[in-house]
Amino acid sequence: MKNREIGVKKRHPTAGQDAYDRVSKQLNLAVRLLGFWIALVSLFFLFQALDYRGLIARLAEWQFLHFDRYWPTLTFVAVTALFSAPLIAAVWLLRTRQRRTESFGPARQDDLRIVKGRLARLQGFFAGVCVGSLLAAVIVLILRLQLPSDEGTPRSIVVGSPDAIAPVEGRAVITGSIDLRETAQFNEDLLLVKRSLYFAPVRSGPDDRSPLRYFVEVRRNDVPEGYHPITFPKDEDLVRVWRFRLSHLVFTPYLDGVLRREALPGEIVNLYRHAGYDVEDDNFVLFSGLDKLTWRYNVLAAEFGISALISGLAAFIFGRRRRQVKQRMEDEIEASRTAQAPA
């Protein structure tokens, strides 16, 4: 008669720690991806916010409709967080799974091991932000290279003539009837610097009522270039935020500059439309110089460069601290082995 024995598989003493290490590696990878993803998503929605298009523009118009104002920073942060939510949820789930084994169970960890894991996560997150910010800065600089050139002989464009149907971007001189009474103000507020730009529509003549397609940058004569938002009196005719009619302001149009296709900010397009004007989607804007076009790209590249520098420094600091904790753990293990060794 044969006896059957029930074998019980013994748990290896380090199995719990191995499981803990696997979760830690997965969590560190997820944190790195989260930092990298946040940087790229921020770039995507930042361009939407600056160009006033896509989801950001729809949310802005919804806020204008229901609240009569627009919160750009809150909208940008909310949308970025929303599109980062899956990775945030993954990090949270992995962290919850890891936390269960830190204080109890077969994978109970000592304080130094827990501190080392936290430092590794911080190092990974800032390293991901650093790499993502560097990639975002490179993308911005590549887009900057696609801007039209200001070299060569300027092309003559007469609004309403055949040469204005499909003009080439670059140096140009525009001839037409500029309506300075409908000048629009655009305040561009980036993280480090700000500026104010002014645009006016150009028609073929005073009686032209066709949809607006050409615009020129105009100079405000009472202030130098920079950030000079206009304070609107309550009794003036004001449509939304940027369009105004103030009799004491004098503007001078630029007729010689750099022509850029579809460069009229989306906010200004919507403002003219709300004011009762038809504006072509395929519009052209004559800027006073190439620096007015490169300004945004230079500032964005600088901001993402600073973000990469700060996050890289943070990753270095947390990485150095993690190595110190790791060395301390190894010293304690070596001291424990020495104490247990036979005399």
What residue spans of 146-205 are helical by DSSP H? none
pLDDT at 234 (0 to 100): 58
One domain for residues 312 and 220: no
Query: 47 in a domain, yes or no?
Result: yes
User: 181 and 198 in contact (C-beta within 8 Å)?
Assistant: no
Which domain, by its residues, includes 316?
15-146+297-340
One domain for residues 168 and 279: yes
Report in angstroms the alpha-carbon separations of 109 from 98, 112, 163, 331.
Answer: 10, 8, 75, 17
Query: 59 in a domain, yes or no?
Result: yes
One domain for residues 233 and 316: no
pTM over 0.75: yes
Q: What are 295's two structure tokens? A: 């300004």
pLDDT at 327 (0 to 100): 87
Query: 10 in a domain, yes or no?
Result: no
Tens-place pLDDT, residues 169-216: 999 999 999 988 888 888 887 777 888 999 999 999 888 889 999 999
User: 217 and 287 in contact (C-beta within 8 Å)?
Assistant: yes
One domain for residues 45 and 135: yes
pLDDT at 118 (0 to 100): 85
d(CA 215, CA 282): 12
Q: What is the CA radius of gyration of the chain?
A: 30
One domain for residues 255 and 164: yes
Q: Classify 62 as helix, strand or coil.
A: helix
pLDDT at 3 (0 to 100): 46
One domain for residues 138 and 51: yes
Query: 7 in a domain, yes or no?
Result: no
One domain for residues 234 and 211: yes
Q: What are 277's two structure tokens? A: 């004007």
One domain for residues 128 and 202: no
pLDDT at 12 (0 to 100): 47
> Which phi and psi (to 5°) does residue 173 adopt?
-125, 125
pLDDT at 2 (0 to 100): 45
Count of domains observed in the chain: 2
One domain for residues 301 and 277: no
Boundary of a domain, candidates 245, 269, 288: 288
Boundary of a domain, candidates 266, 288, 310: 288
> Which phi and psi (to 5°) does residue 104 adopt?
-155, 170
Tens-place pLDDT, residues 123-166: 999 999 999 999 999 999 998 999 999 888 999 999 999 989 98
pLDDT at 233 (0 to 100): 57
In one-letter notation, the amino acid at residue 31 is V
Within 10 Å of residue 63's Cβ, how many Cβ atoms? 16
One domain for residues 36 and 106: yes
pLDDT at 18 (0 to 100): 64
pLDDT at 282 (0 to 100): 92
Boundary of a domain, candidates 249, 269, 288: 288
Instruction: Give the DSSP per-residue string, 249-262.
Output: --EEE--EEEEEET
One domain for residues 239 and 127: no
Query: 9 in a domain, yes or no?
Result: no
Query: 83 in a domain, yes or no?
Result: yes
One domain for residues 280 and 314: no
d(CA 87, CA 132): 15
Which of the residues in the chain have pLDDT under 50?
1-13, 15, 105-108, 236-242
Q: What are 13's two structure tokens? A: 């003493």
Buried b / exposed e along 181-208 (16+ C-beta atoms within 10 A): ebbbbbebeeeeeebbbbbbbbbbeeee
| Crossing angle of the two packed helices 72-83 and 54-67, in degrees rounded to 10 | 130
Query: 253 in a domain, yes or no?
Result: yes
Query: 249 in a domain, yes or no?
Result: yes
